Structure 1
Amino acid sequence: MDLLLRELNRYKWDLVGLSETHLPRTGEETISGTSLILSGRTDGTHRQGVGFILSPTTKKVLISFTPVSERIATIRLKVSVSNLTIIQVYAPDSARSNEECEQFYFQLQSVTDQTPKKDMLIVMGDFNAITGNDQIDRRDVMGPHGHGRLNGRGERLISFCRENDLYITNTAFKHRHRRKVTWRSPD
């Protein structure tokens, strides 16, 4: 954590979303004036986990933190125009069953539905999905700079975005190939 905080101090940052923390706890910690809020497993297993790192400035505008599960957490912030709700996620990967994936999206939809309608909404994190770069019939939810070929989890993400009038913003901007993915299967 100290190394991460040192690296963050090189940038102008106020909030960082965390996915796959592997920290088996839920709650808030303060490290060197920085707030770490986590939603992890409760059985002691070092798997999954999501959370946020908040700068002291962002901590001052924090209205609430809601740990939903080891895969979903929300924060609500008071910002100048309105309130901002951020949902941080870590979706099941392709090795998990379709049933587990559907349970995740059911829970995510429930959390999204509970967001006050006047709030600005950001859903971010690791969706373990490939949305592809073929924009045909998907311009309403994504830009032309996707990656790879659409997979089943990508179809599910696109469906969720359509249902909630959301846009996959990292497909809207051109990135170097190596910055489009964070991990590639060895097979």
Structure 2
Amino acid sequence: MVKDNTLRLGCWNVRSFNSKDQEVILELHHHNIDLCAISETEKKGKGTSQYGEYTMFYSGKSKEVRAASGVGFIIKRGGYLNSITGVKYRSDRILQVSMKTDKEKMNIISLYVPDSGRPTQELEEFYDHLQSTVDDIPKGEKIIMI
């Protein structure tokens, strides 16, 4: 459980994490970022990877299809990583991390929203999925969408 109230957040559309992993990690370290939501990772599947002092949770397309979209969180080891109470791999465009601080429970959601030029059905499905994600969070818990 974290006692300090300072959480240094970041977000980054990495446009393929696979070729930029070291660059991203160096920048997060340089700017002392605790938690960074990343989008357009183009990572396949879902899971966890270690990068020095950082842990990455990611959710992407299935391994059978072309790599596209993908979301993730990169979290610095220490207080905030230890505060995680759950990770929900919702889709290749929505990833939720739940954490508990000394004062509250919060849910941080990494989003990769489809472009407005995408087919209407794809946009509606995304927003329906996002709404069900929010509806699943207990009332009274903080929600941060990045």
User: Is this a same-fold pair by TM over 0.5?
Assistant: yes
Aligned residues between the structures: 124
Distance 1:100 1:65 in 2: 24
Does residue 90 (structure 1) correspond to residue 106 (structure 2)? The answer is no
Partner of 1:6: 26
Partner of 1:99: 121
Partner of 1:40: 60
Structure 1: any 5+ residue segments left out of the alignment?
Answer: 125-187
Q: Could you tell me how far 1:44 is from its partner in structure 2?
A: 4.0
Q: Deviations over 1:73-124 (max 9, x none)?
A: 1000111211110111111112311111011000000000001112111111
Residue 30 of structure 2 aligns to a residue in which SS? coil
Partner of 1:20: 40
| One-letter amino acid of the counterpart of residue 70, structure 1 | D
Q: Could you tell me how far 1:4 is from its partner in structure 2?
A: 1.1
Compare CA radii of gyration and give the structure with the larger one.
1
Residue 8 of structure 1 aligns to a residue in which SS? helix
Residue 47 of structure 1 aligns to a residue in which SS? coil
Q: Deviations over 1:9-47 (max 9, x none)?
A: 111211000111111120111111310000101134210
Partner of 2:77: 56
Residue 9 of structure 1 aligns to a residue in which SS? helix
Does residue 116 (structure 1) correspond to residue 145 (structure 2)? The answer is no
Identity %: 30
Distance 2:71 2:126 in 1: 14
Distance 1:30 1:62 in 2: 16
Distance 1:90 1:4 in 2: 18
More strand per residue: 2
| One-letter amino acid of the counterpart of residue 116, structure 1 | P
Distance 1:118 1:95 in 2: 35
Distance 1:111 1:94 in 2: 21
Distance 1:56 1:112 in 2: 27
Q: Deviations over 1:48-67 (max 9, x none)?
A: 10010000022111111100
Structure 2: any 5+ residue segments left out of the alignment?
Answer: 1-20
Distance 1:119 1:61 in 2: 15
Taking only aligned residues, the RMSD between alpha carbons, in angstroms, comes to: 1.1
TM superposition score normalised by structure 1: 0.64
